[in-house]
Structure 1
Amino acid sequence: MARRLPEPQQTPRAATIRDVAAQAGVSMATVSRVLTGNYPVAAATREKVLRTVEELDYVVNAHARALSGTRAKIISVLLSSINSPFFNRVVSGVEQQAAAEDLLVMIGTTQGDPEREVRLVEVLREQNVDAVVLVGGVVDAPEYRQRMARLAQLLDSAGSRLVLCGRPSPGENLPVTVVEYDNVGGAFAATSHLLSLGHRRILFLGGEAASTTTVDRYAGYSKALAAYGLDVDERLCLTGSSEVYYASDKLRERLAAGPPDFTAIVAWDDLTAAKALVALRKAGVAVPEDVSVVGFNDDAIAEDVTPALTTVSIPYNELGREAVRLALHRADPASARNQHITLGTHIVLRDSVRPLIPR
């Protein structure tokens, strides 16, 4: 006897706005008004619609919402990597402000690829997100400025906003929000601190030479030397990559060639400074007795290493929060086309620096 195959199960049809309107006994326009909150609706009607939405498990269609011009209530953050403490702490600030604004945060990675960054922004524009936040330093070149100008106009045409966090502005009169922090001032303070303690041979260590972050920190370092009447000695500048192993390898090569020809190090960031501590210790160089070390960023590692690092503190949380707040609250869009603020940095004194004893 032939066995009868079971009937295929039908996937339940998703409820539509028409279904909600029919069951609630109202028009589709009324349902839309309740869900978007952009038009007053009687309390009893609103309660009835929301109850029906819950009963039918109705989900607002993202594409239909985009076509209607309704915002997605989402902030998207694009990072080159999710492994950086800097990125993670800025995103924490973004999430805090987004929660206060009743928004969701969506995080994506560009893997450092400018073309992937453009493609992701184009996709996010179609999703009608409220803002796209790009975090981290870049190589400031004409191509970068043209790309950012295009993305700013692209998002603005969709009612969204491009936010550059820790990046330079791509130009004047563009619909973009720029939230930076004072890299130059931070490096100036760190280097000046060493100079005030008698150090004159100060090594600048790490960072991709063309990156805006490195350029600004090197500018602060150079400015401090100039303030003390000193010229920059290019032999005391070891830049070329933001990878910590690049900087530590260069430092090890330097130490292998002979005793340090410097009395202090201004490291590009705290991870680089931590690697420098290891390289110095392996070379038999004591910190801070022989060489003082200053970091940058005030990451958690700055307190965990021995000796604890003197470093420059960045307002991570405020960067993220301001990025969201400024992007969302533009009372006068015409006067706020090009929002640009710079937050301050400050030096945190710990145990990795000592006054240089005159010889």
Structure 2
Amino acid sequence: MTVTLADVAARAQVSPATVSRVLNGNYPVAAATRERVLRAVDDLDYVLNGPASALAAATSDLVGILVNDIADPFFGIMAGAAQSQIGGTQGPGAGRAGGEKLAIVCNTGGSPERELTYLTLLQRQRAAAVILTGGALEDPGHSAAVAAKLGKLADGGTRVVLCGRPPLALPEGGDGGPVAAALTFDNRGGARRLTEHLLALGHRTIGYVAGPVERTTTRHRLEGHREAMAAAGLGGTVDALTVHGPYDRRSGYDATLELLRREPGLTAVVAANDTVALGACAALRERGRSIPDDVSVAGFDDLPFSADAMPALTTVRLPLYEAGARAGRLAMGREAVPGGVVPVPAELVVRGSTGVAAVRG
């Protein structure tokens, strides 16, 4: 039986007018009421009646690209590359208006609630495709909710592409192939090679500025660092010289000061990403430490500014633009992936910010 607006109102214990206001976004509604309505929409799998042109097809001309922070170049590069592949498509992924599709970037701010809300909104709009970028939140409840929501999207004909996320098991498409394609970054292997590079330079007292504890990217990169340190017989030092924080410059600055407080003889800092590494460099200079003569610094991602830092930043290159562009093609059905999972390699890039460990007298 078709779910109606009145059914949603009854489930949320509000009036149909309130449900309409929440769904159309044209009138202020209290946050708690809004969340209750959206939860009812999700529970009942209600799909909003869209324009007649959208109802004429299984999906609309809309593609959603979910990012944690559009101001972060890591996400901006992937989103921009994906969008470059979405307009003007011909063939199976073509939209009704001459082949164009409308790509919208959904900025979650790292909020799991916003992530689910955006997925619900895209489902109601019968999005042709959804691309989720970056690592996932490591929370079993949220992971299950996201998997269920993506399954509903896939059932409705939406192509789901994960770019930089661990793969999820989703329903099979009508053609027998997987609905979701996952481009998985080699965060663990890249981090291991980065720490091995520092160990080969003679570093033994290595601090690690990690990202937020709850993100998959954080865990995988830290695991790679641990593997390299353990292989060198230094695994027992990792916990004491690891500080977690956001993926931003301030986090790198504050965490590096904390690492120096814990271990004044620090000879190297590995940062969760290149932006964090810039903060680490600032803290070291403030404390009179030369890079790399006193302390080596390394980042991750190879963001555009890394080569122009002073000194240029040793890092791990992820092909973010290429991955984003491929995600866009996969979302449009212009490319297929046997098995649904594509490993994306990480490349060590050695520059001037790392050098031979200083000899302590």
What TM-score does the superposition give when structure 1 sets the normalisation length? 0.75
Check 1:84–1:291 CA distance in 2 against 1; reply closer, same or farther (3 A cut).
same
Match of residue 87, structure 1, among 64, 75, 79: 75
Q: Which residue of structure 2 aligns with residue 238 of structure 1?
A: 243
Deviation at 1:201, TM superposition (A): 1.3
Check 1:347–1:331 CA distance in 2 against 1; reply closer, same or farther (3 A cut).
closer
* Letter paired with 1:182: D
- Secondary structure at the aligned position of 1:249 is classed as helix
Match of residue 118, structure 1, among 116, 119, 142: 116
Check 1:259–1:209 CA distance in 2 against 1; reply closer, same or farther (3 A cut).
closer
Do residues 284 (structure 1) and 288 (structure 2) align?
yes
1:82, 1:109 within 8 Å by CA — same for their partners in 2?
Answer: yes
2:151, 2:171 within 8 Å by CA — same for their partners in 1?
Answer: no
Distance in structure 2 (CA, Å) of the matches to 1:286 and 1:259 = 16
1:151-300 superposed matches below 5 A: 151-171=149-169, 175-233=179-237, 234-255=239-260, 257=261, 260-300=264-304
Distance in structure 1 (CA, Å) of the matches to 2:170 and 2:231 = 31
Q: Which residue of structure 2 aligns with residue 33 of structure 1?
A: none
Distance in structure 2 (CA, Å) of the matches to 1:176 and 1:278 = 42
Distance in structure 1 (CA, Å) of the matches to 2:225 and 2:306 = 20
Q: Which residue of structure 2 aligns with residue 354 of structure 1?
A: 355
1:297-308 superposed matches below 5 A: 297-308=301-312
Do residues 98 (structure 1) and 86 (structure 2) align?
yes
Deviates more, 1:197-206 or 1:265-274: 197-206
Deviation at 1:195, TM superposition (A): 0.9
* Letter paired with 2:312: A
Larger Rg: 1
1:209, 1:241 within 8 Å by CA — same for their partners in 2?
Answer: no
Deviation at 1:258, TM superposition (A): 7.9
- Secondary structure at the aligned position of 1:145 is classed as helix
Check 1:330–1:148 CA distance in 2 against 1; reply closer, same or farther (3 A cut).
farther
Aligned residues: 295
Check 1:87–1:164 CA distance in 2 against 1; reply closer, same or farther (3 A cut).
same
Aligned CA RMSD, in angstroms, stands at 2.5
Distance in structure 2 (CA, Å) of the matches to 1:162 and 1:151 = 11
Distance in structure 2 (CA, Å) of the matches to 1:119 and 1:254 = 38
Check 1:339–1:129 CA distance in 2 against 1; reply closer, same or farther (3 A cut).
same
* Letter paired with 1:82: I
1:145, 1:171 within 8 Å by CA — same for their partners in 2?
Answer: no
Deviation at 1:189, TM superposition (A): 1.2
Deviation at 1:216, TM superposition (A): 0.5
1:123-138 superposed matches below 5 A: 123-138=121-136
Check 1:71–1:223 CA distance in 2 against 1; reply closer, same or farther (3 A cut).
same
Distance in structure 2 (CA, Å) of the matches to 1:119 and 1:139 = 15
Check 1:128–1:248 CA distance in 2 against 1; reply closer, same or farther (3 A cut).
same
* Letter paired with 2:319: P
How far does the alpha carbon of each residue in 1:320-340 deviate from its partner, in whole angstroms, 9 at most, with x for none?
1222223333899xx97x722
Q: Which residue of structure 1 aligns with residue 12 of structure 2?
A: none
1:205, 1:238 within 8 Å by CA — same for their partners in 2?
Answer: yes
1:79, 1:108 within 8 Å by CA — same for their partners in 2?
Answer: yes
Distance in structure 1 (CA, Å) of the matches to 2:112 and 2:258 = 33
* Letter paired with 1:229: G
Distance in structure 1 (CA, Å) of the matches to 2:335 and 2:185 = 24
Q: Which residue of structure 2 aligns with residue 150 of structure 1?
A: 148
2:155, 2:171 within 8 Å by CA — same for their partners in 1?
Answer: no
1:333-348 superposed matches below 5 A: 339-348=340-349
* Letter paired with 2:193: A
Check 1:159–1:276 CA distance in 2 against 1; reply closer, same or farther (3 A cut).
same
Deviates more, 1:74-83 or 1:164-173: 164-173
Deviation at 1:74, TM superposition (A): 3.1
What TM-score does the superposition give when structure 2 sets the normalisation length? 0.75
